[in-house]
Structure formats: C-alpha cells, structure tokens
Chains A and B, each alone.
Chain A
Amino acid sequence: MNLIVVGLSHKTAPVEVRERLAFKATQLGEVCRQVTDQSAADEVMILSTCNRVEVYAVAPNVDDGFATVSAFLSRCADGMDVKALGPHLYHYPGNDAIGHMFRVASSLDSMVLGEPQILGQFKDAFEAALNAKSTGMVLNKIAKKAISVAKRVRTETKIAENAVSISYAAVELARKVFADLHHQRVMLLGAGEMAELALRHLISAGVREVVLSTRTTENAHKLAEALCAEGGPPVRVVPFADYAAILPEVDIVLCSTGAPDYVIGPKQVSAALRARGHRPMFLIDISVPRNIDPATAHVGDAYVYDIDDLQSVVEANLEERQAEARKAMVIIDEEVDTTARWIRSLEVVPTITALKGHAEAIARGEVERVLNRLPNLGEKERKLIEGLGPAIINKLLHNPLSSLRKEAQERGGRDMVETTRKLFALPDEGAAGDAPAGGDDE
C-alpha cells in the first residue's frame, strides 16, 4: 500500500511542456479511469492546474507504479515520449508523496506562496476522482487529510495574510487609513491597467462610489459601463478638465495617466483637505513617470504612495509568507507522520482478518461438535455454549492483535506479521485474498 506522486510543476517544467500535458476539468474523471486501467495503480487522482499536472496514485509496488504512470503521462503529452518528458517529471514515494500532497494543497508549493486558488482546485480534482470512482479507502483518506491540513495551515499560520500583489497592496494600505471602505469614494484618474485592477479590488472591498476621469472621456464611459454591468457601487464620469474640482469629494485617488509630468501637487491636495474638513486622503500613484508630486506626501492628512512603495510592501509581505511557510512545514511534518502511521497500520489488516477468521473457524467447528453430541440441551444452555467460542477468542486474541496494530503503526510490523503467520500457519497474504477494506479505520 504505497502512495506515489508522478507529476510536473512550474518548478520542473516550462509552460511549453505544462500546456501539452494539462487536462481539462471536464475530462479529469475519464483520465483517472484510464490511469487505473492502464497502469499498476489501484487508486488514482489527478490534479491539473496551469502550474502543475500531478497524478496521485496508490500502487502495490512503487517502481511499477512510477514506470506505468510516467508512461501514461508521456502518452498524454502529445509529441513527447518518456525520454522527452522524463526530465520534467518528479516521482515521490511513501511519506514524501504524502508530504508533497499536503504542501501542494496548503499552497506551499505554489508559484505565489499561500495563494488561495490551489485548495479549490485540489478539492475539484478530488471530487472528479471520487465521481469517477477511481479512488479508494487510502486515497480518500489522504486527500481529505490534505484538505484539512491546508485549512489548518491557513488558520494557524499567516501564510495567506497580507497582500502579495501591487494592486492589492493598495487596498490593504487604504484599509489601514480608512478601516472598512464602505464610506469611501474612490477616483480613478487615467486608465492604467494596474490602476484599474486596484480599482476593482477596491470595489470588491465595498467602496461607496467610483469616479472616473480620463483624458479620452470615451474610455471612461466604456469602463463605467463595464463596471455597472458587473454590479457594484454607482459610477460617475467626470471630464478630465474637472478632476481637480472633484478632489475634495474623494477619499482615495488612483492615479495612472500617461502624462509626462505631475497631475496632482501639494497645493491642490491641501486645498482639497481644507475643503473636506481635514478628513484624510489616500493617493496612489501607479504611473511611471509619476503623476503625483512627491512633495504631496508632506501635506498633513494626505497619504501618498507610488509604485515603488507598493512594491516594497509586497516584498515585505512575501518575506513574511516565507517565514510563515517554515512554520507550516512543521505542521505538515506532524500530519505526514500521523498519516503514515495510519497507512502502516493498514499493512497488518489482512493478517488480523486472517487470524480472526482462522480462530473463528476453529471455535465454530468445536462448538458445533459439542452441540451435536448434546442434542437434549435447552435453549438457554445452547446459547451459553455458542457464546463460549467468541468469548474465548476475543480474550485470547485481544493482546496479540493490539500489539500487532501498535507494532504496525510504529515500525510497519513486517517481522511481526511474518511471525504471526508462521505461528498460526496462516496462508500467505496473496493467497488470503484482499482484506475487506475499511475494517481498521482510525
């Protein structure tokens, strides 16, 4: 019973390779079934995002599993044989595979550390595999565990806190000035792409009103229409010549015009602040060359940030996430350990079932023999004698079975399994047939 991972990610393969292998969400279930048919794996789940394609499988034999799954992937990657795809693939067996799965789900292996999408993609992949019935007891358990580990990492560390994009860093800073943004009016000056992105972040943060002002009024109207269609706060378009007059009304200014010089200066801002009773103003300049005179930063109650300031916020936050990732690794190691113990304990399940079956058969035989010899017994006596067999078995086997389980959880229990089979002359594992699954759940 081994979990294996075969796959490639942004760390091992360029996009040219990843795009050849990527599976559509709709075909995932079908592909899972194909892998189970065409490889030496019993249980299969496939995770396919734009940054990674990975096959999680449970295989009786690790090497066979690696070889057949790799071969399958190279058949799927059009125009790439095993040799061409091989260098991009990574293979993890056992605990490394569990650890990898946990790290992926927890977004520790993502391009942007702590990004939230991967967990949803992981859940979808698991769902697809479940629907295709390509998973079994082991993979179900480990995948569910991966989801709960990811949640634990998210709540117990700050891996997902603080913005790691420039446009979102602007929103976070705005929140540090205005608390919630429900009463704030935001003005977008110019039509830079990043400023528009920041505007959309601010809208989803709940700003009260949006004012648009661009040199070509047509562009502003187009954007206004688009924003209105998406729902959200009211949008007002102001001619570019009049933006200065609106300045006192707005709390947040996003500035991103193509102007070669300053559009907003300290004089305008201090006049605006006087007019608005010194309520703070938050000005973001995402234009290069800058459109807001840096001297504006010296005006009291005006908070001015340019693109470099936002960049440094993002860098500091990324560093913070790195530190949090180290804490998350401790959590993951811990969880891998408990999961590995559970898997190891599965190894003794066939032996335990066989031993129980063996003992029960003996007891049943003996009880029947005795009962046949005593045909005149009353109902009560019969019941008593029938109960004797299971009672003796349970008492006798209690200690051996629990030490077997314990040994399995701690050391895998191979030796003890051998010994038990020899002692009780149990048939070999293969001959005993597959043990009923789920008998020994945690």
Chain B
Amino acid sequence: MSVLFFELAMTAYLVVAVLFMVYLAGRSETLTRACQVGTVVGFLFHSLALGQQWIAGGGFPVTNQFEAASFFSWTLVLVFLVIDVRYKSHVLGAFVVPLAFLSVLSAAFLRGNVQTIDPGLRGLGLTLHTSLILLGATAFCLSFAAGIMYLIQMRLLKSKHFNALYHHLPPLNACDWLIGRGVLVGFPLTTLGILSGAVGAKFVWGSYWDFSPKQNLSALIWAYYLVMLVGRYTLGIRAKRAAYMAVLGFVAVALSFVGLDALMGETRHF
C-alpha cells in the first residue's frame, strides 16, 4: 500500500512538473490553479506514504536512502506550498516540483536495494542527525531554485528579451532574498546536523571525526555555506555571485547525498 501512495505522489509530481513547463512557455495564468491543486494532491499522497512507512518501520522514516530522499522531497514540496500561500510565488513550483519529482524518482530506484542501517546505529541520535541534515538540504535546495531563477531572469533582463518566462519569473531582488533566506535557515540546520552526527559517531565508533571522504565533503560544504552566509554582508556575495554560489553549493550537496555512496561503495550511511 505504501508503494501505491508513493507512486501516486510521484505521478502527481510528474504531471505537475509538465504542467509547470507548459505554464512557463505561455503567458496564461490559468494553469497555476491546476498546478497548485496537483501539487497539493501529490503532497497528500506523499504524506500518506510517509505515514505508512513511519508506522511500518516503527520510527521516523529517515532510516535509509530511499526514505531520506522521499522525506527530503516531501519537505521541499511542503516549504514550496507554504511559500506559495504566503508570497503567491507560483513560479517557484516550476523549479521546485521537478526537483521533488527527481528526488522521489531516485528514491524509487533506491527502493530496490534498501540497505537497512546497522541496528546499532539506529535511534534518536541518528534520526535527529539525518532529519537536520535533510532539512538543511531542503533550505539549500530552495536557494538553488531561487539561484536558477535569478540567473535566468538576469540573462533575460541583460539581453532585453522580454518573453513569457520574463513575465513569470520574480524580480531579481526577490530571488536574491530567497537565496539568502535558504542559506540563513539551511546553515544552522546543517551545523546542528553535523554536530549531532559527530556526537553520534563518538558513541558508536568512538571518534567524533574519522576523515572519511564523505565527512570531509560535508565539512567543505559547511565551510562553503559559511562563506556564503558571512560573505553576503561582508564580501558583497549577493545578487549574481550569490546565485552562482547557491547553484554550485546545492550541486555539491546533491552529489554528497547520491553520488558518493555509489562511487565509494561506502559502508556507512549519512
């Protein structure tokens, strides 16, 4: 059953992603309603799927890569819906929903070979660590989406190409604000996530930090976002620079999530 809900959610996200692309290409605002409804429907199915996983797994469903990817896209869609209601920024969905879809799609592929975590690792500490890291990633992902929007809108403004996309996309400053907000929220979450992971590692493996590639990459990403956060006010890392950094940063985050485990064949997760 949880597979059914999950697949329904995935289908809804795909349909909405396609609808958003059609919306972006034209001038009409009529599709936004369908996109909103579709997103909400997908989100409800997704919530049901998560709820079932929670009950079936007997704990918060972030215990393997499949669940993590699913949880990540769920929070992403949730935050988009909140922003959409609060700021009426429908167009953000055109960038967020496809990402959510890709994330659940990758989750669907991962479901085949779920590697359950060593029972010794399970527990509140891991749940906390994973959830914090995933919430941080959601915030960074929003910065990424806003960065993409910024860069497209910047190109359109610079080339004086006032097409449908130009009309749909938000003002540059609004994108920049969202980039900053994403980092501002994502950075402390990630910091706490890494700290809780280190504390957990101390308990399980006896050391806070063992310089595995994954841990080093995490530290690099953390430092990168620290530079972005502080640089906004001191080094003038805003506007175009912030947009580029937000895009690159999240690419690194995504790689550290999916790429490294596959590449390194690591045993430890998260």
Residues on A close to B: CB < 8 A?
158, 173, 175-179, 274, 276-280, 297, 300-301, 303, 305, 309, 312-313, 316, 320
Contact = CB atoms under 8 A, between A and B. Distances in A.
B162 interface: yes
B162 A279 contact: no
Contacts of B146: none
Interface string B162-195: 1000100011111001000000000000000000
Contacts of A305: 160
Contacts of A303: 157-158
B171 to A, nearest CB: 4
- Which 6 A-B pairs give the minimum distances between C-beta atoms? A277-B236, A179-B171, A278-B236, A179-B173, A179-B174, A177-B172
Contact of B166 (A176, A309, A312): A176
Given A173-B157, A176-B172, A278-B240, 6 more contacts: A158-B27, A176-B153, A178-B173, A274-B236, A279-B238, A303-B158
Contacts of B171: 175-179
A208 B177 CA distance: 19
A320 B240 CA distance: 30
Contacts of B158: 297, 303
A95 B171 CA distance: 45
Nearest to A177: B172
B87 to A, nearest CB: 11
Interface centre among B170, B237, B238, B239 (most CB of A within 10 A): B239
B122 interface: no
Chain B: interface size category: 10 to 19
Contacts of A177: 157, 171-173
Given A176-B171, A179-B174, A279 B239 contact: yes
Contact of A301 (B174, B177, B239): B239
B157 A316 contact: no
B182 to A, nearest CB: 17
A326 to B, nearest CB: 14
Nearest to A297: B158
A83 to B, nearest CB: 49
B149 to A, nearest CB: 12
Interface in B234-250: 236-241
13 contacts: A177-B172, A177-B173, A178-B171, A178-B173, A179-B174, A274-B236, A276-B236, A278-B236, A278-B241, A280-B239, A301-B239, A303-B158, A312-B160
Contacts of B238: 277-279
B192 to A, nearest CB: 29
B240 A301 contact: yes
A266 B15 CA distance: 46
A379 to B, nearest CB: 63
Nearest to A251: B173
A280 B236 contact: no
Contacts of A179: 170-171, 173-174, 177
Nearest to A303: B157
Contacts of A158: 27
B174 A278 contact: no
